[in-house]
Amino acid sequence: MIKFAIVGMGHIANKHIQAIDQIDNAQVAAVCDTNIDRLKEFEGKYPIYKDLEDMLQKQTDIDVVNICVPSGLHAPLAKIVASYGKHIILEKPMALNCDDSMEIIDAAKRANVKLSIVHPNRFRPVIQLLQETMSKGMLGKLSHANITVRWNRGQEYYDQAAWRGTKQYDGGVLMNQAIHNIDLLLWLMGPVKSVQAMSATRLRNIETEDVALGVVEFESGALGVIEAATTIYKENLEESIAIFGEKGSVKISGKNANYIETWNIEGISDEKRDEYIDRIKEDPFGKPGHQCIIEDMVTAIKEDRQPVVSGNDGLAPIQLIEAMLKSSETGERIILGKEKEI
């Protein structure tokens, strides 16, 4: 039995609890939050703690700690968890900058614990189908890709908690909302060589950006466009990813990028395409992504391997977002991994 503790009992913690409850050989062993009012909901269900180290000292049988606190607190808490020799499941984004992200990775390596980052969109049925198709080279040489996050997050969303929309604890539309799509873009298209971007705070009273645009050059030579906004009136409009190559054009869309809009690939008949479309429509969400992530951690522990979404996977979108924000600030094209700008 793999025992999990959850730190940070806000909205997303419930997804972790629901996922763990569905997994054989996994159980919630404790929960932790500095807010006693949040803990009252779980009193009598699990051991509750107000302090992370107090929990780790008293419950030595904990195997994995799921960190669900505001993003700016990820690094200090992850380093504490690693120091106690516990495996880590870390909500997105793994941190709000590259330095903190690399410190988390280093802490996990030094402690010889496993680190998994929650990027659940990889497990959507349509994304799994796209990744399998691309891994076989069926789109041929890639020309470009496009991701869009056209969502609504009104002022009341940001006013729910003082940390929302702050640079220190939350991040903006890129780090908070679009990071899942940026993760998919990198997973499917490979590393980015350079980026030029613009961002702005147009409609929301927050410290961070509520709209951002970027043009990227991948190391392969392919190009990409990133569009992300929380300013869409009056509800979520679209989340999509489109990829174009010499032998195929694919677009995945819908309000949550769950459906096939275009699937034109050399060698794929109209009948086969329609079969894919119907199959995805029957089960657009599949097994919850959080459950996939947590199940993988259970298996990774038993098989003594790295999780499928590793710390390095979590770092990659942080590097790109940090470069986009730097480009927006300076007006320059940023070469990733290098100090110079062109």
Which tokens is 184 given?
A: 């998919």
How confident is the model over 311-333, as pLDDT tens digits?
999 999 999 999 999 999 999 99
pLDDT at 341 over 70: no
pTM to 2 decimals? 0.95
Structural domains of the chain, with CATH: 2-120+290-308 (3.40.50.720), 122-286+319-330 (3.30.360.10)
Note the pLDDT of residue 337.
Answer: 72
Tokens 């509750």 sit at which residue?
A: 48
pLDDT tens-digit series, residues 218-231: 999 999 999 999 99
Cα 257 to Cα 98: distance, rounded to the nearest angstrom: 27
The whole-angstrom separation of Cα 264 and Cα 269 is 9
Check residue 22 and give left, alpha or beta (phi > 0: left; psi -120 to 50: alpha). alpha
Looking at residue 103, its amino acid is: E
What does the pLDDT read at residue 270? 96
CB atoms within 10 A of CB 233: 8
**Are the C-beta atoms of residues 100 and 321 closer than 8 Å to each other?**
no
Name the token pair of 261.
Answer: 């809009």
User: Per-residue pLDDT tens for 230-287?
Assistant: 999 999 999 999 999 999 999 999 999 999 999 999 999 999 999 999 999 999 999 9
Bridge partners (DSSP) listed for residue 32: 7, 49
Percent of the chain with pLDDT over 70: 99
The tokens for 125 are 């049925």
